[in-house]
């Protein structure tokens, strides 16, 4: 039985063991998946022990994604550009590969579950923190017509756009200077976590726009309610959670699990 786990602080609330447990049953994989707690400054000893005891792979959640980035022996391109690692995978040669499946999980939820388009669309991302950084390369790879980052603090958005200029065209501004008419707006800011609405002009949303919030919960976020009132199709980020897990699972096990049944299970549980 191969062992996997998710490490975080706090960790009690994590749904990852339920998600990976369901994936393992569905694909008949002989594996177990647990939870690991570490003190905020105690990532390394806990992870050293996990792999010394024969562990095969880890998911990493807050606040340890930068620790995992430093811990990995090698990095995928998307982990390198994200500047963060949410998945560690033991390789045949005994080294640890650091990957980041958050962005691919988001893209997969948008394109495959929701059936929304990214390719050829005008895409706006709100926020310029770690969540945004993690999604820019996977979004660019879908070849949107335009990718714009808007942040409360404009210079952080401009810095991010500059950092990614080698991968494709990204424009940036403050939230108060967003161009008009986006087909897809992704809220990657932390505003929803404190029940706040990023101050965005309704003109940023094109007719028939789609609006995605990376946060999830029993109730729609203020951003989702605001966009829905303007006629947008909306989604929270529960599918991104399941999507990133599916990408990690595929990396570890070489099989791609079905996400839809697990998404339904979690949605029922949230209600």
Both tokens of 169, joined, read 């065209």
Task: For residue 131, state whether it binds ligand ATR (rule: CB under 6 A).
Answer: yes
Owner of token pair 């108060």: 176
Tell me if 54 sits within 8 A of 31, measured CB to CB: no
Q: Which residue among 15, 31, 88, 128 contacts ligand ATR (CB under 6 A)? A: 128
Which residue in the list 65, 117, 122, 141 is annotated as catalytic? 65
Is 208 marked within a binding site? no
Phi then psi for residue 161, to 5 deg, are -60, -40
Separation between Cα atoms, residue 122 and residue 109, nearest integer Å: 18
Task: Please state the closest distance from residue 66 (CB atom) to ligand ATR, in A.
Answer: 10
- Contact residue for ligand ATR among 17, 21, 83, 129 (CB under 6 A): 129
Residue 77 is assigned to a ligand binding site: yes
Q: Taking CB under 6 A as the rule, which mask of x and - marks residues 146-185 in contact with ligand ATR?
A: -----xxx--x-----------------------------
Q: Is 130 annotated as a binding residue?
A: yes
| CA separation for the pair 245, 33 (Å, rounded) | 12
Kindly report the length of the chain.
271
Q: How far apart are CA 222 and CA 215, in angstroms?
A: 11
83 belongs to the binding site for ligand ATR (CB under 6 A): no
Phi-psi region at 248: left, alpha or beta (left = phi > 0; alpha = psi -120 to 50) = alpha
- Choose the binding region for ligand ATR from 45-53, 85-93, 190-198, 262-270 (rule: CB under 6 A): 190-198
Give all strands (DSSP E) within 79-204, no chain letters.
Answer: 87-90, 96-99, 122-126, 146-151, 171-174, 182-187
Sole binder of ligand ATR in the list 127, 138, 144, 243 (CB under 6 A): 127
Rounded to a whole number of angstroms, the minimum distance from the CB of residue 258 to ligand ATR is 28
Whether the CB-CB separation of 109 and 139 falls below 8 Å is answered with no
CB of 84: closest distance to ligand ATR in angstroms? 8
Half-sphere exposure of 77 (CA within 13 A, CB side): 8
# residues contacting ligand ATR (CB under 6 A): 15
Candidate residues 26, 73, 162, 196; the one interacting with ligand ATR per rule CB under 6 A: 196
Q: 65 catalytic, yes or no?
A: yes
Site for ligand ATR in 7-66 (CB under 6 A): none
Nearer to ligand ATR by Cβ, of 22 and 68: the residue is 68
Residues 197-226 that bind ligand ATR (CB under 6 A): 198
Number of Cβ within a 10 Å radius of residue 189 = 25
Is residue 57 annotated as involved in ligand binding?
no
The helix or strand, by DSSP H or E, that contains position 37, with its residue range, turns out to be: strand 31-37
Element (H, E) at 211: strand 205-213
129 is in an annotated binding site: yes
- Closest approach, Cβ 69 to ligand ATR, in A, equals 13
Round to the nearest angstrom and report the end-to-end CA distance of the chain. 33
- Applying CB under 6 A, the residues found at the interface with ligand ATR are 127-132, 151-153, 156, 189-191, 196, 198
Which residues participate in the annotated binding site for NADP(+)?
A: 77, 127-131, 151-156, 214, 237
Give the active site residues. Answer: 65
């Amino acid at each position: 039985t191969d062992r996997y786990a998710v490490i975080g602080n706090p960790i009690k609330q994590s749904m990852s063991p339920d998600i990976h447990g369901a994936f393992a049953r569905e694909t008949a994989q002989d594996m177990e998946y647990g939870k690991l707690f570490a003190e905020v400054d105690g990532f390394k000893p806990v992870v050293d022990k996990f792999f010394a005891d024969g562990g095969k792979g880890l998911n990493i959640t807050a606040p340890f994604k930068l620790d995992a980035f430093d811990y990995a022996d090698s990095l995928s391109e998307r982990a390198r550009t994200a500047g963060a690692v949410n998945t560690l995978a033991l390789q045949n040669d005994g080294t640890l590969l650091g990957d980041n499946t958050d962005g691919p999980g988001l893209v997969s939820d948008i394109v495959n579950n929701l059936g929304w388009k990214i390719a050829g669309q005008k895409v706006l991302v709100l926020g310029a923190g770690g969540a945004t950084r993690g999604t820019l390369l996977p979004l660019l790879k879908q070849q949107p017509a335009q990718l714009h980052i808007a942040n409360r603090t404009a210079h952080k958005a401009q810095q991010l756009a500059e950092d990614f200029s080698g991968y494709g065209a990204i424009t940036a501004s403050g939230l108060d200077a967003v161009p008009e008419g986006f087909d897809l707006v992704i809220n990657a800011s932390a505003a929803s976590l404190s029940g706040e609405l990023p101050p965005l002009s309704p003109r940023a949303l094109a007719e028939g726009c789609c609006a995605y919030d990376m946060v999830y919960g029993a109730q729609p976020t203020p951003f989702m309610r605001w966009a829905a009132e303007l006629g947008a199709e909306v989604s929270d980020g529960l599918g991104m959670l399941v999507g990133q897990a599916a990408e990690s699972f595929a990396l570890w096990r070489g099989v791609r699990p079905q996400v839809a049944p697990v998404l339904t299970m979690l949605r029922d549980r949230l209600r």
